[in-house]
Amino acid sequence: MFLVVPPILVFAVLGLWLAQLLVIEGQKRFLHQLRHRHEPLIRFTNFVGIMFQTFCQWLGYTVTHSGVAEFHLSINDGEVTPKRKKTGFAKWVADGFLFVGPFLIPAGLLLVAGFFVIRGGFIIPTGIVSVQGQVTSFGEALIGFVQAFIGFLEHLNLLDPLQLGFIVLLFFLGLGIRPSYLGQRRRERVTVFTDLDNIAALFLGRTLYICVFVALVYAIATVSFLLQNAWFLSLVTVFAWIALLAILSLVLTFVLLIFLRTLDEIQARWRYMPFLAMVVSYVGFRVLFFVVPLVNAEGASLFGMLGVTLLVTILLLRFKTNTFKASTAMKHRRDPDAKRRSSQRREG
């Protein structure tokens, strides 16, 4: 069991990272569909992703003492030029920060911020944990974290600056964990396979580094077992929390993007109404539950706001649909070549 359990926990974390990559790829594809109607949003998300990627590259050169000769950051691209080009292990570490860092560092910052608002979610057994019990404790820690995150959303108070700031940060990082390369300048599209190829290139042909990593995993697990402490379990659980919080952030951001896509069906002069309904309904519910006290008034106000916003959106879709867009879509369904001909006319 001692030989089997540490790899199981490590592969569980790798599985969460793979799930994170797949969700990111789905978000990129959905953003690509919004490009023509939400170009400023696409450029913003691209910039955020490039900013984190460039920051990780700078951090890799700083950690390896390569120095930074030039730092370039724009909406379409980011690049860091080292003063001294390192080789061997130092170059491998710098490449690791570039290829792996964007999946860990932004979500890690979000996890640190979440420590102050997600109550009861950061619980790891600190006593004696058997080798077999580590797998169970690991699963319980992940389930407890998800339950605490859902509880945070159920009691979310948008009038609390700390909680509101965390939600803003949640969507900010969820929109830009990885760049989509959909800016003004054409670039080769980066997909999940590109990220996997870069990560695989870090280890292929480097048997020594793989052996060192495996030895380090078993060394930490052995010391934890001999000292009857949960150090190894705690370390693996924190990395799992980082990946899990990134996935939750991406999923919530996906819901926001779907909402924006839905608003495209409404006539332009009416699209602000759902956002106005959000503010007015939330403030109205908070005032109502202040006058008429209610258990969990914050959560009730939040769900009331979502219900009113959904109702307003449905009514606008029913009575204020973008007739030009709807008729164009119907025309394309009747004549499949119409879309291609219209695209050729625009290019001409």
More confident residue, 39 or 184: 39
pLDDT at 319: 86
* Percent of the chain whose pLDDT exceeds 90: 25
Lowest-pLDDT range, 189-193, 196-200, 323-327? 323-327
Q: How confident is the model at residue 149 (pLDDT cuts 50, 70, 90)?
A: very high
pLDDT at 330: 47
Q: How confident is the model at residue 326 (pLDDT cuts 50, 70, 90)?
A: very low
Q: How confident is the model at residue 287 (pLDDT cuts 50, 70, 90)?
A: very high
pLDDT at 285: 93
Residue 176's CB is within 10 A of a number of other CB atoms, namely 22
Mean of pLDDT over the chain: 82
Quick one: average pLDDT of 198-203? 78
Domain extent listing, the chain = 5-262, 266-347
Which residues share a beta bridge with 321?
266
Query: At residue 327, does pLDDT exceed 90?
Result: no
pTM to 2 decimal places: 0.83
Quick one: average pLDDT of 157-168? 92
Lowest-pLDDT range, 145-154, 173-182, 337-346? 337-346
Residue 206's CB is within 10 A of a number of other CB atoms, namely 14
Query: At residue 102, does pLDDT exceed 50?
Result: yes
pLDDT digits (tens, 9 = 90+) for 103-138: 888 889 899 999 999 988 888 766 556 777 788 888
Query: At residue 289, does pLDDT exceed 50?
Result: yes
Quick one: average pLDDT of 80-96? 84
pLDDT at 183: 46
More confident residue, 58 or 327: 58
Residues 23, 256: Cα–Cα separation, whole Å = 14
Query: At residue 7, does pLDDT exceed 60?
Result: yes
Q: How confident is the model at residue 243 (pLDDT cuts 50, 70, 90)?
A: very high
Q: How confident is the model at residue 163 (pLDDT cuts 50, 70, 90)?
A: very high
219, two tokens: 């060394």
pLDDT at 337: 54
Q: HEC profile for 266-326?
A: ECHHHCCHHHHHHHHHHHHHHHHHHHCCCCCHHHHHHHHHHHHHHHHHHHHHHHCECHHHH
* Percent of the chain whose pLDDT exceeds 70: 87
pLDDT at 210: 83
Q: How far is CA 180 from CA 30, 47, 76, 132, 339, in A?
A: 10, 9, 10, 42, 25
Residues 173, 180: Cα–Cα separation, whole Å = 13
